[in-house]
Amino acid sequence: MRHSSPIIRQLRFYSAAQKPVSPHIGFYKTFSRPIAKVLLMATFTYQVAYWGWVKLEKDEEKAGRNAEIKALEVELQNLIKMAEDAGIKVKS
């Protein structure tokens, strides 16, 4: 009582009678996913490294500005003290 055996034989016959795949197409069928994964990982790695570099640069610039502000505040305090010692009235 096998009603499906002619269909299976027919499917097997058609699946075995496929034309050969071009080497060019075979290459892309085999290596397209690994190449895409490598490119995506390389892009991700580059973006993380770039983000880290930008963050470090911004931190360095901020530290430089803060140091300059502190130095200017100290200089201002010294000038105010010198002016008060000389008898010049200074608004605070």
This prediction's pTM: 0.58
Tell me how far apart the alpha carbons of residues 41 and 44 are, in angstroms, rounded to a whole number: 5
Amino acid (one-letter) located at 37: K
Q: Which pLDDT does position 3 carry in this prediction?
A: 56
Question: Do the Cβ atoms of 90 and 84 come closer than 8 Å?
Answer: yes
Length of the chain as a residue count:
92
- Range of the structural domain that residue 52 is part of: 5-64
> In whole angstroms, what is the distance from residue 33 CA to residue 19 CA?
24
Asked, for residue 92, whether it belongs to a domain, the answer is no
* Domain total in the chain: 1
Tokens of 45: 């790695």
Is residue 12 domain-resident? yes
Cα 83 to Cα 89: distance, rounded to the nearest angstrom: 7
Is residue 24 a part of any domain in this protein? yes
Position 77 in a domain? no
Would residue 18 count as lying in a domain? yes
| Digit-coded pLDDT (tens) for 26-72 | 888 899 999 999 999 999 999 999 999 999 999 999 999 999 999 99
